[in-house]
Amino acid sequence: MSELAGDNASSGEAIGLIAGWGRFPIKVARALKSQGHRVVCLGVQGHADPELARICDEFQEVGLCRLGGQIRQFKRRKVKLATMAGKLFKTILFERFTWLRHLPDPTFVRYFLPHFVTRRRDRNDDSLLLTVVQAFANAGIRFAPATDFAPELLVNAGTLTRRKPSAYERADIAYGWRMAKEMGRLDVGQSVVIKGRCALAIEAVEGTDDCIRRAGSLCRSGGFTVVKTAKPQQDMRFDVPTIGLGTLQTLQQSGGRVLAVEAEKTIVIDEQEMIDFANQHGMSIVACSAAEVALWTEDDSEATEAA
């Protein structure tokens, strides 16, 4: 990590953490504390785990659309380097009366006017989050990838479980990989659900778990494969593919058998608990490299031609 933020930040320096939903922010906060940093956490209302208040040196709950307030909170605490972790539920943006409920401040309005009023810019994840990063940068606060501080959360290549994917399932992974990469390039979503080289469900605004549930409702026979990859243009500062025990539980409840993710670019939360659960239910978890998937694609093409 010679050029990563984790090396450049000195011990005791205040590091800002914007925390969304899930256990990822907790893992990052603990990693920062173990490195001797003072952790200033802004927990997004309705998302952040209350446990963060016990881990971080300072914790403040903030409104999702109070961008100016978030910047001021960090500046008052002399935060110059920050990171973000955890899921933000984008469906909030499409609820009725959402702006009355979340009351955007003037800074939010100024930066997001092109997205929500004039509509000159889209509302895809990269577009929205890059706007957030730019707003903080203009105030002198730089964002770094959370994985700079907790690189151990990125999964290594290989099959994590006792059960390996079958040849049939590897063909589905290769098929789903190409589709997931294209969906990522378009900034639509990161996950696809495949069975028999047929797309059952493609993730959009609903998130991975609801995508899996939809596939389960459409494929009552089960036995399908979920493929989750980073975008070709992945910015590691935000929206990094993340899986945890909840992902596996949803997959098992919906009838799925295989979860394939991209090695070195996917965050795994509570890895051992995930592996234990998958082994208990005869499921496969595999972290793939692009080169490995390319070989599976070639093998599948040769098999198809031979047939």
The CA distance from 203 to 180, in Å, is 9
- Below-50 pLDDT ranges, the chain: 1-3, 303-307
Rounded Cα gap, residues 55 and 33, in angstroms = 8
pLDDT at 4: 53
> What domains lie within the chain, and their CATH numbers?
5-148 (3.40.50.20), 154-306 (3.40.140.80)
DSSP state of 207: -
User: Residue 297 has what pLDDT?
Assistant: 78
Q: Tokens 């959402």 identify what position?
A: 98
Residue 232 burial (10 A CB sphere; 0-12, 13-18, 19+): exposed
For helices 167-185 and 290-306, give the axis angle rounded to 10 degrees: 120
For residues 15 and 260, give the distance between their C-alpha atoms in angstroms, rounded to a whole number: 33
Element (H, E) at 174: helix 167-185
The pLDDT tens digits for 205-250 are 999 999 999 999 999 999 999 999 999 999 999 999 999 999 999 9
Query: What is the DSSP annotation of 51-83?
Result: THHHHSSEEEEE-TT-HHHHHHHHHHTT--EEE
Those residues whose C-beta lies under 8 Å from the C-beta of residue 34, and which sit 6 or more positions away, are none
Report CA torsion sign: 249, 145, 28, 272. positive
Strand partners, 258: 225, 284
Q: Cα dihedral angle (143, 148, 153, 154), rounded to 10 degrees?
A: 100
User: Widest CA span of the chain, in angstroms?
Assistant: 68
Is 242 exposed, middle or buried, given 0-12, 13-18 or 19+ CB atoms closer than 10 A?
buried
Cα(191)–Cα(179) distance, integer angstroms = 9
Contact between residue 55 and residue 33 where contact means Cβ atoms under 8 Å apart: yes
pLDDT of residue 3: 46
pTM, two decimal places: 0.90
pLDDT score recorded for residue 47: 95
- 301 contact partners, CB below 8 Å, separation of at least 6: none
Give residue 7's pLDDT: 52
Among 48, 3, 12, smallest CA distance to 32 is for 12
Predicted pLDDT of residue 17 = 98
